[in-house]
Structure 1
Amino acid sequence: MVHLRRKARNLLSQPTNENTTTQDTHVEEPDHHRTWLGLRTFESLAYSNYRYLWSCNFLVNAADWLQILTVGWLMLRLTDGNALLTGTVVGIRTLPILFIGPWAGVLADRIDRRKLMASTQAILAVTAVIFAVLVSTSDITETGTTGPLKPWHLFLYVAVTGMLHTIIRPLRHALVPNVVPRVAMPNAMALQATTRTATRLLGPALGGILIEVFGGYDWNFYLEAAAYIGALIVIWPLRTPYRTKSNAHESTMLQNMGEGLSYVWNHRVILYLIAIMMIPNLVFQPVVFILPIFVADILGSSEGIGGLLLSVMGVGGVTASIIVATFGFKLGTGKTIIYAMILGTASILVMSQVPLLPVTIAMFLIMGFSQTHIRIGNPTLVQTLSPDQLRGRISSFYQFDNGFTPLAVLLIGALAEFTDATFALTLVSLVSLIISIATLIFAKQIKQLD
């Protein structure tokens, strides 16, 4: 343990974005003329390696949102509207983070990050095709289901893809500082967020349309597989000119894990930033996962409206991403994160109390806007405070809160099943709003981060 603490202290004294590389020695100079209306909104896209990474993440996130929408509605049909199972099947996709998440971070620091990401996407594509074939052999209607597809197949599919996404998550964050210099990090992280928010806008809308037009779900899974194949193709040419040489392979994986934990414990600001992510991961995400319940039971609508709401949330997210990419965090990154927590939780409370479609649309817009500010600001701070040798591990610790999302979904889904969705959302939003306001009052270290 003394050895691990000494190594962590040594890492604290090292710069967090050196240009020492393991294999890619060419450091690309950006074309600073690539601006939009004189603004530096898209300056990180001047780096070709960042363009490869951005395109890959866009396709992976598009596939992810297609799965979230389709699996939720598919379970709702298979179980005749069971709220608990519908919320849980989507929620368990993050459960593997609790078991293999930190070890995935260790792998990201020991193995070539590009190759690890590419191989994982190949397996995801094969898995999606197999499940699409299973769905296509079943007849699923509002009145009943015939064929081999059973609810447990959905749980198995989501669990397998959840494990694979657990490997990808720390890689996506750790690779950003490897393809752009430190000065471009805020812009790069903001544009990285657009891959999630833009696909939230496009993916669910397209998925909802396909379900409505073709009256089936299998096409969505074939499209998901195609997105993974596209991601595999665009990630292959990527190089990492800003990656620092890692010596993680010189120690055991257990020692690597201890080294990462020791660093986070000695660098408490990162620990606090990890804790703050409980709000978006345990509140905002479960709301998305139980969306079919809210749309069907409270709004009295169908898949098309569900896809529309997720798309509106994407509009809010894209807007926030562009604002941050262009202007940065004018209030300070730390303060912006806390204000966004308050605004986002308040929007859920309003939505639960005024269950009208126009109000719900407005609140989803606000929720997407605020959540994206958190998801840009928080990882930007974490990545810039972390040495590259530990970025995979710290990214996995940072996303560890995601592993508790299934528990939150289970509790909210159970509340919705035994009371109603309105009561469940009201309770969750009130508690999280109180926590957010308390953070604003007492979290002085976070508020000082710029």
Structure 2
Amino acid sequence: MSAGPKRAAGTAYGRGRMSPTFHSLAIRNYRIYFFGALVSNIGTWMARVAQDWLVLVDLTRHSASALGIVTGLQFLPFLLLAPWAGAVVDRFPKRALLMVTQTALGLVSLVTGLLVVFGWAQLWQVYVLALLQGIATAFDNPARQAFVSEMVPTARLANAVALNSASFNAGRLIGPAAAGLVIAAWGTGVGLLINSATFGAVLLALTRLDPAALTPAPVTRGKGSIREGLAYVRGRPDLKLVMGLVFVLGTFGMNFQITMALMATKIFGKGPTEFGLLGSIMAIGSLAAALLSARRANPRLRHLVVSMALFTVSAAAASLAPTYAVFALTLIPVGLAALTALTTANAMVQLRTAPEMRGRVMALYMAIFMGGTPFGAPLIGWIGDAFGARWTIGIGPLALAITLFLVAISLWRRENVRVTFTASARPHLQISTRAVTRPVPEPAR
């Protein structure tokens, strides 16, 4: 019965009516979900800018530490709840779980917006609401990641993951700039209220999906599912390597919520409009990366390593930017490299994980990616207060450079990876693996 929609989608793609970049949109369920998520992503990025401005300007005197604490509280549940969140995602229908988590996130944003609009907001309240948001997101994120594989066939999973990133960064392209205009005109509370309304788009999309066209993963029952998920990852060196690289990138490099706010206000002395514009400029690179990744059916480790190296160079340049305009321009390659790395890592983990384990593995992946933020964000905030805003960006390239060097040494020794660069040939850069020749033991005498 389910072959009909898949056959129709495949026929449309095969006749050339849809670019390979967008071919997952030929599937009705995914198309409905994609556009619902796009509306919500615009609101999410508006809320991020509004919350940063609320903490940094309205409630404190440009306290980087306070902003770091808020960011840390938002991501702390990823670290604490990951094993249980993954077990819940694999145990319950993901579509129903998403309706619960999206409703909870909308309510948190609504309460925050009302507190600000009526002038009741205090810093401790923002801390509490950030923690509640983090709890809901700890369950929402792995559910959303794993739900993609239920809407599209495996052959299109990498494309759908990349298009999700494109949706997220299209929201980033529009949301921050819109938030800057809204804050300047009506205040931070209105931006938060707009975000709470956009969650309705996702809920509407979820209700309009055709259940018969979904392919739910096997549901996990019984005890021991958490231990089973941890054991699964522990026995997969390929997944552990990807997660290790993502941990360093997420903890030390992906602190844009803090770094852009500090650079805009403390280094360049700009207002909310210019601050919001930085997020939109960065999204140009991120959106380009997502669309390029959507054309790549088989993401590989070399794509991840090269993109992280590009991030290291471009982020270092951003930390040294002499003017606001130069800083804004450097954010384009930063966004391009960061999103390429994250999309590649996400697709690699999903494609290499068994369907019945995907919820638990993706929960662990998100915990490793975002779980370092509760420690990294306050640390970045303290670095900003103690050594200056530029070092909040500079610490990321330093940590990534050391990590990439250690990974290169490890791969060279364990996998016999060889990297060659030839200026006069194409491709210029080649990364290959060769069989390791082991010494033949001498026969016993």
Q: Structure 2 length as normaliser, TM-score?
A: 0.87
Letter of the 1:245 partner, please give it: P
1:36 Cα offset (Å): 7.7
C-alpha distance in 2 between matches for 1:267 and 1:437:
22
Kindly provide the CA deviation profile for residues 295-344 of structure 1, in whole angstroms up to 9, marking residues without a partner as x. Answer: 11112212212211111111101111112223556xx6211111111111
1:341 aligned residue = 308
Aligned pairs, number:
411
C-alpha distance in 2 between matches for 1:36 and 1:123:
41
2:421 aligned residue = none
1:263 Cα offset (Å): 1.0
Among candidates 83, 105, 121, match of residue 102 of structure 2: 121
SS of the equivalent of 2:380 reads helix
Q: Is the CA contact (8 Å cut-off) linking 1:91 and 1:289 kept in structure 2? A: no
Which stretch shifts more, 406-415 or 25-34? 25-34
Among candidates 351, 358, 363, match of residue 330 of structure 2: 363
2:275 aligned residue = 306
Residue 385 (structure 1) aligned with residue 352 (structure 2): yes
Among candidates 98, 117, 121, match of residue 149 of structure 1: 121
Residue 283 (structure 1) aligned with residue 252 (structure 2): yes
Q: How do residues 246-325 of structure 1 correspond to structure 2 at under 5 angstroms?
A: 246=219, 248-249=220-221, 251-252=222-223, 255-325=224-294
Letter of the 2:196 partner, please give it: A
1:395 Cα offset (Å): 0.2
SS of the equivalent of 1:242 reads coil
1:231 aligned residue = 202
Among candidates 174, 185, 195, match of residue 213 of structure 1: 185
CA change 1:231–1:245 in 2 (3 A) is: same
1:448 Cα offset (Å): 6.9
Kindly provide the CA deviation profile for residues 75-106 of structure 1, in whole angstroms up to 9, marking residues without a partner as x. Answer: 11211211211232123211111111221111
Residue 166 (structure 1) aligned with residue 145 (structure 2): no
Q: Is the CA contact (8 Å cut-off) linking 2:85 and 2:363 kept in structure 1? A: yes
Residue 404 (structure 1) aligned with residue 372 (structure 2): yes
1:37 Cα offset (Å): 7.8
SS of the equivalent of 2:21 reads coil
Superposed CA RMSD: 2.3
Residue 33 (structure 1) aligned with residue 12 (structure 2): yes
SS of the equivalent of 2:20 reads coil
SS of the equivalent of 1:74 reads helix
Kindly provide the CA deviation profile for residues 324-372 of structure 1, in whole angstroms up to 9, marking residues without a partner as x. Answer: 223556xx62111111111112212111122322221222101110111
C-alpha distance in 2 between matches for 1:52 and 1:275:
34
C-alpha distance in 1 between matches for 2:395 and 2:244:
21
Residue 434 (structure 1) aligned with residue 407 (structure 2): no
1:187 aligned residue = 159
2:216 aligned residue = 243
Structure showing greater relative contact order (alpha-carbon pairs closer than 8 Å, 6 or more residues apart): 1
- Between structure 1 and structure 2, the one with the greater Rg is 2
SS of the equivalent of 1:42 reads helix
Letter of the 1:349 partner, please give it: A
1:60 Cα offset (Å): 3.8
Percent same amino acid at aligned positions?
24
SS of the equivalent of 1:33 reads helix
Q: Is the CA contact (8 Å cut-off) linking 1:96 and 1:162 kept in structure 2? A: yes
CA change 1:420–1:233 in 2 (3 A) is: same
Q: Is the CA contact (8 Å cut-off) linking 1:87 and 1:290 kept in structure 2? A: no
Residue 55 (structure 1) aligned with residue 35 (structure 2): yes
Among candidates 18, 43, 56, match of residue 76 of structure 1: 56
Q: Is the CA contact (8 Å cut-off) linking 1:264 and 1:271 kept in structure 2? A: yes
1:431 Cα offset (Å): 2.5
Kindly provide the CA deviation profile for residues 162-219 of structure 1, in whole angstroms up to 9, marking residues without a partner as x. Answer: 11111111011111111111111221111111122111111111111101122x1111
1:351 aligned residue = 318
SS of the equivalent of 1:443 reads helix
CA change 1:80–1:345 in 2 (3 A) is: same
Q: Is the CA contact (8 Å cut-off) linking 2:282 and 2:331 kept in structure 1? A: yes
C-alpha distance in 1 between matches for 2:150 and 2:289:
24
